[in-house]
């Protein structure tokens, strides 16, 4: 029989808070992480704002030498992992290292390191490239660093599926626990792509909002005036644990990861098919895997990027999957506050989705003042909603046609 998997620890670093409690309260308060870019001089760029992490201190999680040899995305990942392991009661052990694994992905990896070292190469030649260049920028190194911090010798790798990366990480980690490959998995994603090349690339493909005059209101999912996403950064990590293992040690359980759906569009590099049928299949698969019906679900944390194509497509997909029950659910996009954290987005949104179950409060979609008629569901505009939530879906999609849906529910007998 498949083993049941629960979440016993949460950790995150986001543009609206450097831990879970601060992030959650900021989402409920409707705070935006948008602001002027400080990571680099954006004067030659056409866009000058992003959702940056603020006031992050890597020395809280690693020594100065280690921080110097780590890209920011790895620093974020380790910070979130330390928080999550502490939250789970594992900070000082209590787990079998051989049965503890790590899946932490990144959509882009250490792009800021790559850019900086390319400048060194161009200006001073190949002999001046840092010996730490490769392990700093590769997309799997955060998983390796986290595993070394905690001595985790179980399954260890990184997922990379653009903006679906960390949802895939959680789903695949859940399966490793279900199948008995591990009793505990550290899973999620991290991103630090507020960099000159990434900003320029996303801007030139017209994926980003161009509201330089209003960074805090630029991310406006489901709104008729939306014009693109706002680039974000950060990390989200969850601790997944086999139910019996968690119960035996008296762990606090946030909820159960009950189902996982993963599909491909096989359609376009960056676009989506009409009504996003790939995401429909992902949601249906997650519901089936969880033995849930649409009527069992109260909340969907949408991918909700604030792009003209995604939002209406996703709403139509949700309406198709949920049918007559669609008008009875709440949908929201917390990217309205955090911006689009790319490979970290799915994990942070899974954390948010779990907290709606724990707290009975659904965070709003902020900046939603003129709802697009094509986004015709209850998108929870601007104000949090108190509601008894027992089951949720969290959706993610990525360039290349990747879709992932995580189904979570309150732990039942």
Which of 174, 303, 375, 402 does the annotation list as catalytic? 303
Closest CA to 83 of 150, 167, 162, 176: 150
**Per-residue pLDDT, 93:** 92
pLDDT digits (tens, 9 = 90+) for 20-78: 999 999 999 999 999 999 999 999 999 999 999 999 999 999 999 999 999 999 999 99
DSSP track, 75-127: HHHHHHHHHHHHHTT-TT--S-GGGEEEEEE-SS-SHHHHHHHHHHHHHH-GG
CB of 15 within 8 A of CB of 233? yes
Return the exposure string of 189-210: e unless at least 16 CB atoms fall within 10 Å of the residue's CB, then b.
Answer: bbbbbbbbebbeebbeeebbbe
Which of 176, 245, 276, 340 does the annotation list as catalytic? 340
* CB-facing half-sphere around the CA of 131: CA atoms within 13 A: 0
Query: Is 340 one of the annotated active-site residues of the chain?
Result: yes
**Per-residue pLDDT, 362:** 98
pTM, rounded to two decimals: 0.97
Percent of residues in the chain assigned helix, strand, coil, to nearest 5: 40, 20, 40
CB of 395 within 8 A of CB of 310? no
Query: Is 12 one of the annotated active-site residues of the chain?
Result: no
User: Phi/psi of residue 407, each to 5°?
Assistant: -105, 125
**Per-residue pLDDT, 413:** 66
Query: Is 303 one of the annotated active-site residues of the chain?
Result: yes
pLDDT digits (tens, 9 = 90+) for 387-406: 999 999 999 999 999 999 99
Which of 12, 51, 163, 174 does the annotation list as catalytic? 163
**Per-residue pLDDT, 274:** 85
Residues in the chain where the model's pLDDT stays below 70 = 413
- 8-state DSSP, 50: E
Closest CA to 129 of 115, 114, 111, 117: 117
């Amino acid at each position: 029989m498949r083993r049941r998997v629960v979440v016993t620890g949460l950790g995150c670093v986001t543009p609206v808070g450097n831990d879970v409690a601060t992030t959650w309260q900021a989402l409920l308060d409707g705070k935006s992480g948008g602001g002027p870019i400080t990571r680099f001089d954006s004067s030659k760029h056409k866009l000058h704002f992003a959702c940056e992490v603020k006031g992050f201190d890597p020395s809280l999680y690693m020594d100065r030498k280690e921080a110097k040899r780590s890209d920011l995305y790895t620093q974020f990942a380790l910070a979130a992992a330390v928080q999550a392991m502490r939250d789970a009661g594992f900070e000082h052990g209590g787990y079998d290292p051989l049965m503890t694994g790590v899946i932490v992905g990144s959509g882009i990896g250490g792009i800021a390191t790559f850019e900086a070292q390319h400048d060194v190469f161009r200006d001073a030649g190949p002999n001046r490239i840092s010996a730490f260049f490769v392990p700093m920028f590769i997309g799997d190194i955060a998983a390796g660093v986290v595993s070394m911090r905690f001595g985790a010798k179980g399954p260890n790798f990184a997922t990379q599926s653009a903006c679906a990366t960390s949802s895939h990480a959680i789903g695949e980690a859940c399966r490793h626990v279900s199948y008995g490959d591990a009793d505990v998995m550290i899973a999620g994603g991290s991103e630090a792509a507020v960099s000159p090349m990434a900003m320029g690339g996303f801007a030139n493909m017209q994926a980003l909002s161009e509201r330089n005059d209003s960074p805090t209101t630029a991310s406006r999912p489901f709104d008729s005036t939306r014009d693109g996403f706002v680039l974000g950064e950060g990390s989200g990590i969850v601790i997944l644990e086999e139910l019996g293992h968690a119960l035996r040690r008296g762990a606090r359980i946030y909820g159960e990861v009950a189902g996982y759906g993963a599909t491909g569009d096989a359609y376009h590099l960056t676009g989506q098919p009409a009504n996003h049928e790939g995401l429909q299949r992902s949601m249906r698969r997650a519901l089936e895997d969880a033995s849930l019906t649409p009527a069992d679900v109260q909340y969907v944390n949408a991918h909700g990027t604030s792009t003209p194509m995604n939002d209406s497509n996703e709403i139509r997909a949700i309406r198709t999957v949920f049918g007559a029950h669609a008008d009875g659910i709440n949908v929201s996009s917390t990217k309205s506050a955090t911006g689009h954290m790319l490979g970290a987005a799915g994990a942070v949104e899974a954390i948010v989705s779990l907290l709606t179950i724990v707290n009975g409060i659904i965070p709003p979609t902020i900046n939603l003042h003129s709802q697009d008629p094509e986004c015709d569901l209850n998108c929870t505009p601007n104000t949090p909603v108190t509601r008894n939530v027992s089951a949720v879906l969290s959706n993610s999609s990525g360039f290349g046609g990747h879709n992932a849906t995580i189904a979570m529910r309150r732990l039942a007998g």
